[in-house]
Amino acid sequence: MPAQVNSVTIPRPDDWHLHFRDGQVMESVVRYTARQFARAIVMPNLSPPVTTAAAADSYRQRILAAVPKGEQFTPLMTAYLTDNSDAEDLVSGHADGIFTAAKLYPAGATTGSADGVTDIGKIYPLLEAMQKAGMPLCIHGEVTDDDVDIFDREAVFIERTMSKLVSDFPALKIIFEHITTDDAVQFVLGGPETLAATVTPQHLHINRNAMLVGGIRPHAYCLPVAKREKHRLALRKAATSGSPKFFLGTDSAPHERGAKESSCGCAGIFGAPFALESYITVFDEEDALENFEGFAARHGPAFYGLPVNAGSITLKRGKAVVPGAIQAAGSEIVPFHAGETLGWELA
Ligand code: DOR
Ligand code: ZN
């Protein structure tokens, strides 16, 4: 028996997908990310969405102002693509270091996606420009057709949209965001080097039973929705395998308690507060602690063409007690793992 590993030190990691929101909520939640991560890809689905470099630059300043003193944290901004996005603003925003990537929301797919893209054909010229400029594309990979079952929307997106996109833009870096199915795992593994995926903590920990057995549990609801157990197992295998195609992206999506515990609850799980503790628990359970560093700190920078962060962070076996709620903007947000105790903590 090899000796048990009791602590893991890795270069400072990054969160390659999260939602900070804006205003007071943003001011309350940025600290949870800055405590653990050196950088994060910030989603642009505000209302109104962040569609221009000027809007992204001012949003970035607001986030930076909310970073607690003494923390080193860099928000990496994304452009929200619409049918009418301005290719020139996009590409010059990328060249100027304002936009790290652009985000494609199929219109109607999720929270804040009403202004998203209605037909991918409409943005082919934009995608051409991004490919030429070396600007990565983050994709919410679900179809929105009424006749497609919500549990099938990711798999159908692969068939109808993603496959063609990958072959039509062979040099475009594509991040298949927050994958939830074995279908997506296999598609990413079988795809070119320009295709990678982020994996959230919730999709590694829970399947759809967590949401629906014994009562409806709105805090386990996010989009794409958690799927069957076989998909969770495929995601765990992929994320912990050491493959550079998979990296950390929490999709932390805070909604105040009342917006989730409602007759029409919002999609989104607030995973930021205990993200690293949550992920490393999975790597430990899968006996793959040696692959945690790649997933959390190396594969993302390599794919995005950014340096690995300086400095390091240590996680050790211990007790991370997750509170039942976190105060934000005069309200409460229920975090992922609320009320649980995780077996790893930040040193
Ligand atoms: O669950 C989700 N929440 N999925 C998304 O794609 C968006 C996010 C949000 O903004 O709340
Ligand atoms: Zn998201």
Reported as a single tens digit per residue, the pLDDT across 24-80 is: 999 999 999 999 999 999 999 999 999 999 999 999 999 999 999 999 999 999 999
- Within-domain flag for 74: yes
Percent of the chain at pLDDT > 90 equals: 97
State mean pLDDT over 208-219.
98
Reported as a single tens digit per residue, the pLDDT across 254-284 is: 999 999 999 999 999 999 999 999 999 999 9
Q: Which residue's structure tokens are 């076996």?
A: 317
- Within-domain flag for 268: yes
**Residues near ligand 1 with C-beta < 6 Å?**
19, 45, 110-112, 140, 222-223, 253, 267-268
> N- to C-terminal Cα distance for the chain?
26
Res. 112 pLDDT band, cuts 50 70 90: confident
State mean pLDDT over 290-305.
98
State mean pLDDT over 154-176.
98
- Within-domain flag for 346: no
Is residue 87 scored above 70 in pLDDT?
A: yes
Res. 110 pLDDT band, cuts 50 70 90: confident
C-alpha 347 to ligand 1 mean position (Å) = 30
The string over 128-161, giving b where at least 16 C-beta atoms fall within 10 Å of a residue's C-beta and e elsewhere, is: ebbbeeebbbbbbbbbbeeeeeebebbbbbbeeb
33 neighbors 73 (Cβ within 8 angstroms): yes
Reported as a single tens digit per residue, the pLDDT across 117-150 is: 999 999 999 999 999 999 999 999 999 999 999 9
- Within-domain flag for 321: no
Closest CA relative to residue 231, chosen from 181, 179, 195: 181
**Protein residue with least CA distance to atom 4, ligand 1:** 223
- Within-domain flag for 205: yes
Residues with beta carbon < 5 A to ion ligand 2? 251
Measured over the CA atoms of residue 237, residue 218, residue 34 and residue 113, the dihedral's sign is positive
C-alpha 253 to ligand 1 mean position (Å) = 6
pTM: 0.98
Task: Point out the ligand nearest to the CA of residue 20.
Answer: 1
User: How many Å apart are CA 21 and CA 29, to the nearest integer?
Assistant: 9
* Domain extent at residue 157: 13-311
Largest CA distance in the chain: 59
Strands of 341-346's sheet in order across: 7-11, 312-321, 341-346
Please tell me whether the peptide bond between 224 and the residue prior to it is cis, using omega within 30 degrees of 0: yes
User: How many Å apart are CA 228 and CA 5, to the nearest integer?
Assistant: 31
293 neighbors 307 (Cβ within 8 angstroms): no
The string over 245-257, giving b where at least 16 C-beta atoms fall within 10 Å of a residue's C-beta and e elsewhere, is: bbbbbbbbbbbbb
C-alpha 164 to ligand 1 mean position (Å) = 25
User: How many Å apart are CA 138 and CA 103, to the nearest integer?
Assistant: 5
SS3 string of the chain? Answer: CCCCCCEEEEECCEEEEECCCCHHHHHHHHHHHHCCCCEEEECCCCCCCCCCHHHHHHHHHHHHHHCCCCCCCEEEEEEECCCCCCHHHHHHHHHCCCEEEEEECECCCCCCCCCCECCHHHHHHHHHHHHHHCCCEEECCCCCCCCCCHHHHHHHHHHHHHHHHHHHCCCCCEEECCCCCHHHHHHHHHCCCCEEEEECHHHHHCCCHHHHCCCCCHHHCCCCCCCCHHHHHHHHHHHHCCCCCEEECCCECCCCHHHHCCCCCCCCEECHHHHHHHHHHHHHHCCCHHHHHHHHHHHHHHHHCCCCCCCEEEEEEEEEECCCCEEECCEEECECCCCCEEEEEEC
- Within-domain flag for 316: no
pLDDT given at position 3: 83
Task: Point out the ligand nearest to the CA of residue 111.
Answer: 1
For the domain that residue 82 is a member of, what is the CATH number? Answer: 3.20.20.140
Q: Which residue's structure tokens are 């793959």?
A: 288
Q: Which residue's structure tokens are 């497609």?
A: 148
pLDDT given at position 183: 98
CA atoms within 13 Å, Cβ hemisphere of 246: 27
The amino acid sitting at 158 is: I
Task: Point out the ligand nearest to the CA of residue 142.
Answer: 1
- Within-domain flag for 165: yes
Reported as a single tens digit per residue, the pLDDT across 186-213 is: 999 999 999 999 999 999 999 999 999 9
Is residue 2 scored above 80 in pLDDT?
A: no
- Within-domain flag for 320: no
C-alpha 7 to ligand 2 mean position (Å) = 30
In the predicted model, what is the mean pLDDT of the chain? 97
- Active site residue ranges: 251
Res. 1 pLDDT band, cuts 50 70 90: low
Count of domains observed in the chain: 1
User: How many Å apart are CA 81 and CA 141, to the nearest integer?
Assistant: 14
